Amino acid sequence: MKEEIRNPLPPEERKKIAVLVSGGVDSAVVVDTLYHQGHDLHLFYIRIGMDDGRGDCSADEDIEICTLLAARYGLPLEIIPLHDEYWDHVMDYTLKTVAKGLTPHPDMMCNKIIKFGYFEERRGHEFDKTATGHYASIKERDGKLYLATAADPVKDQTDFLAQISYDQLSHLMFPLGDLPKSEVRRLAQEANLPNAKRKDSQGICFLGKINYNDFLKRHLGERPGAVIEIETGRKIGEHRGFWFYTIGQRKGLGLSGGPWFVVRKNVRDNVIYVSNGFDTRKQYGRIITLEEMHWITENPFERPDAPDKIGITFKTRHTPDFTKGIISHLNDAGSYVIESEEDVQGIAPGQFAIVYTEDSELCLGSGMISLPRKKKRIKRHLPDGENSTLPKE
């Protein structure tokens, strides 16, 4: 029996909304909230299979829950297959980035290309809005919309959304932006939703149950290489292939006498350099160079009164903490530099720095971290055991 609407909005405020559901508790609470506001909802589940084209058992479970959810509210549910688009773009980008020795951000590309790209082209554009269970919000300033942080700083997902376009942002709704995760759980249990106690998914976008290292091994294989202590040039172990490691990584190195951190990678010779903290300058930095900078709403440096440097806060990884700094425009080619007020650990080329306003309320955009422009020389461990020097990578 279809559930009765409790708190409908005035008819003129109701919209036709596409809701992306995943089988998780967050998107289910979005459905419950918007349904009781009287909106015209259509539910969509984006289905992605494994890389060999086979189905995913977890997707079957997700679809079963989404089907129960749709039936409860008397709503249509449509399965949107975007398998080829996902593997041709998101995972191809991921593997190519890793193979270059860089650190990819597949979740960011998944949102930009799949959820708010191909889905919008396929079905989303037919609706007034597309709603998701992301922890983010949208604020208006001076007649323009901005991606804004969520009320729950731990669950905030603006860093995963920082590559979307202004047109994409303008078509989105984030109904959970003002709610802490604990309240979302409470609402789910109060509404007796079928997934109220289901655990949050972890891992790669759409492929949460796949082990990331197993995924890399299947596609890139293994290639033993040397682990070198960067301060001494001494070989202290071996690794399975540089693509399994990222700058700043601490776990999974299999080295004694640590903690050890990955501080550099030599892709050409398949060597990773580590430090155990005796020289913390090898692990930290304050200058971050960005390429391919993407501004969501506007480029602040294109304003008529724009200064040479702008105060910001930023993140270089998924964390509730922001770091203060200033950003400046290097040249017309789109390069920018962030000067941090404090040391930043594990600056990983290929990853993204997410740029926010000084009060950390608005997400302005993101840029890909590039290799340092100045090259120093460090010792290289050659396969035959000899040492030589090469430019710092």
The per-residue b/e assignment along 272-305, b for 16 or more CB within 10 angstroms, e otherwise, is bbbbbeeeeebbbeeebbbeebbbbbeebbeeee
Which residue among the candidates 57, 66, 110, 363 is catalytic per the annotation?
Answer: 110
Q: Give the DSSP letter of residue 175.
A: T
Neighbours of 107 (CB within 10 A): 18
Query: Are 350 and 368 in contact, with CB atoms under 8 Å apart?
Result: yes
Task: Please state whether 203 falls in left (phi above 0), alpha (psi between -120 and 50) or beta.
Answer: left
Q: Is 66 a catalytic residue?
A: no
- Element at 191 (helix H, strand E): none
Q: Which residues have CB under 8 Å from 4's CB, separation 6+?
A: none
Query: Are 230 and 378 in contact, with CB atoms under 8 Å apart?
Result: yes
Q: Which residues have CB under 8 Å from 384's CB, separation 6+?
A: none
Encoded tokens for 218: 């299947």
Indicate the length of the chain as a whole number.
393
Cα 316 to Cα 9, 261, 321, 368, 372: the distances in Å are 40, 17, 10, 10, 16
Encoded tokens for 4: 């009765």
Q: Is 57 a catalytic residue?
A: no
Which residues are tagged catalytic? Answer: 110, 205
